[in-house]
Amino acid sequence: MKRVVGWTMLAAVAGCANPLPPTGGPEDRTPPRLARADPDTNAVNVTSGTVRLVFSEPVDEASVVRSLSVTPDLDRASELSLRRRREATIRLGALRPNTTYVLTFDTNLRDERGVALATPLVYAFSTGPRISRGEVAGRVVDAATGQPRNGVDVLGYIGHTPAADTLPARSDVRTQTGANGAFRLSYLGPAPLYVVALDDRNRNRRPDAGEAFAAPLLPQIRPSETAVDSSLVWTIALPDTAAARAERARSFGPSRHAVRFSRAVFVLETTDWTVRDSSGQTVPVRAVWRDGADARQVVFATDALPLRPVTVSPGPVVDSLGRTARLAPLRLVPSASRDTLRMRFLGFSDAIVDEDSAGRFRPRLRFSRLDAAAPAVTATDTLGQPQPLALVQTDDDAAYFVETTLPATIRVDGRPFGQDTTFAQRFDARSDRTLGSLSGVVRRPDDEDGTIVVEAVGETRRYRTLAAPDGTFAVPRLPAGAYRLEAFLDRDGDGRWTPGRLAPYRPPEPLLRLDAPQTVRARWDAALPDTLAF
């Protein structure tokens, strides 16, 4: 595959202003399509090395060059010129005999209004009497969320040996995923492919350190001209070595600051964060919480800092796959600006906290932010008598757990936050009668060793269990609600799903997810009707 590196604009640019789309009428949401081609799409016995393509509407000039790839590799860089913002002429040079050529415009191609392709546009012809018709299809999902990933590069290497220490410098074929994470590599010959998915951040069309990738479950996939298996799934994740890292610190005002990480993180410990001034003295960190609007950002509160640079040392955090972030001290310049985000009480919520299998129930108080001083919270028993309580800050957001004897009425004084009211809610003691469970059977892959880890994923947390040797499992003590069920075969015994390796090839650990959420009711076991299979 060779990226287009040279192109000439045939329009008289010097005498033309930048065209503006007309105003009025309904919003344009239709991406460009291929209206005409010379040679025709799927033409055979082509001898000319020049291709002329006409789009259905004017296109953004820069996006045409940026989105185009040609396979197989050309002997020299192709040249592209654009006329009237619709008619593209591509000079490929000398062509090989009996070869199928594929021109792919990826989802970076957009019209002059900025409407981009939803799926790649593919055009092909053959220099021989037959055009290759083999296809490989599948879809790409995100390892952390299980959701489809669109706009991800899919690269195919013909005849690659999985045991090789490196991948070839260029892939032989390329496409991108569409809006539902699906992809299709078309016009392939019979040779097997090594197919990988790549979050190609630097757009060099090859895997680089720190870029998320998906290794295939099968090292060799043979294209098919008839029954194309589109059920194969590539699960994309950052490599094991690419832990989240603290990128920068910023300040919102004298007392509220944040550290931004390279990707979403969870706070493990709120007491290990430190701030030191220029003399090396430690400044107390009063509260730490993950930003509710940006999971890559961890916010912390201090006493008012002087307007001099300080050093922030973040405490332990992990990413969504359980990998510990790389931490290093960061320079922070406190802001003199007035912090406009006030601490306000947002409401009560229930919380089951599974600590030492105790399954404790603790009411939860949610706030817009946390300050140095704890909020004024009281508890009374069923007779209205005061009773002791303790506030324990949660590890993942701006909230506190209330530890007290239940049943009780919890009151939060909103006046210090500018809320002219006292918020109150009664909480009853929670018992096993309010909890349910989720059970089923998962079938181990043939000839595979390792523990099968099963997780029920709720709105705020994951509940984990291990399947028995016969594949049966039960996730106990679940609060009523909907759960997404996941399971993986922990081949290496590290307790988390491993994405494998591209070169030399190591397959990802088998992973399955149920698309439909499972409903758990109090005092009931929600048993899956069918055996799960990887």
Please give the CATH number for the structural domain made up of 246-332. 2.60.40.1220
The CATH number of the domain covering residues in 2-126: 2.60.40.1220
Q: pLDDT by residue (tens digit) across 353-383?
A: 655 445 678 899 999 998 878 899 999 999 9
Cα 166–Cα 136–Cα 46 angle in degrees, nearest 5: 95
- pLDDT given at position 136: 96
pLDDT digit string, tens, across residues 307-320: 899 999 999 988 76
Domain boundaries, the chain: 2-126, 134-236, 246-332, 345-430, 433-533
pTM summary value:
0.68
The upper half-sphere exposure of residue 432, i.e. CA atoms within 13 Å in the direction of its Cβ, equals 7
> What is the side-by-side strand order in the sheet with 182-188?
182-188, 134-142, 233-236
pLDDT of residue 512: 92
The Cβ of residue 298 has, within 10 Å, a number of other Cβ atoms equal to 26
Q: Are strands 233-236 and 134-142 parallel, antiparallel or unpaired?
A: parallel
Query: What pLDDT shows up at residue 460?
Result: 66
Q: From 2.30.30, 1.10.3470, 2.60.40, 1.25.40, which CATH number describes the 345-430 domain?
A: 2.60.40
The answer to whether 172 and 220 have CB atoms below 8 angstroms apart is no
CATH superfamily of 433-533: Carboxypeptidase-like, regulatory domain (2.60.40.1120)
Strands 435-443 and 532-533: parallel
What is the token pair recorded at 91? 């000079």
What's residue 294's pLDDT?
A: 86
Q: How far is residue 365's CA from residue 215's CA, in Å, rounded to a whole number? A: 43
What averages of pLDDT result for each successive group of 10 residues across the chain (534 residues)? 37 37 63 95 96 96 92 86 93 94 94 92 96 96 90 94 92 91 95 96 86 94 90 87 84 94 85 90 91 88 91 88 82 92 90 61 90 89 94 85 93 92 89 83 88 88 90 91 94 87 94 92 91 90
Residue type, 335: S
Tokens 């040779």 locate to: 191
Residue 126, φ and ψ in degrees, nearest 5: -130, 145
DSSP SS3 for 432: helix
Q: Work out the end-to-end distance of the chain between its first and last CA atoms, rounded to an integer number of angstroms.
A: 34
Q: Helical H runs in 394-512?
A: none
Q: What is the DSSP track for 341-352?
A: ----EEEEE--E
Q: Given 2.60.40.10, 1.10.10.10, 3.40.50.2300, 2.20.25.90, which CATH number is that of 134-236?
A: 2.60.40.10
Cα–Cα distance, 342 to 302 (Å, whole number) = 15
In three-state secondary structure terms, 319 is strand
Q: How many residues does the chain have?
A: 534
Among candidate residues 245, 341, 251, 352, the one with its CA nearest the CA of residue 292 = 341
Query: Residue 393 has what pLDDT?
Result: 87
Number of H helices, E strands in the chain: 1, 44
Pairing of strands 525-527, 435-443: parallel
pLDDT for res 82: 92
Does residue 271 contact residue 315 with C-beta atoms inside 8 Å? Answer: yes
Cβ atoms 266, 283 nearer than 8 A: no
Q: Which long-range contacts (CB under 8 A, 24 or more apart) does 106-109 make?
A: 106/67, 106/69, 106/153, 106/174, 106/175, 106/176, 107/67, 107/150, 107/151, 107/176, 107/178, 108/63, 108/66, 108/67, 109/31, 109/32, 109/59, 109/60, 109/63, 109/64, 109/67, 109/68
At residue 354, the pLDDT reads 59
Determine the Cα angle at 44 with ends 38 and 45, to 5°: 100
C-alpha to C-alpha distance for 104 and 123, rounded to whole angstroms: 6
Dihedral, 182, 186, 189, 191 alpha carbons, nearest 10: -20
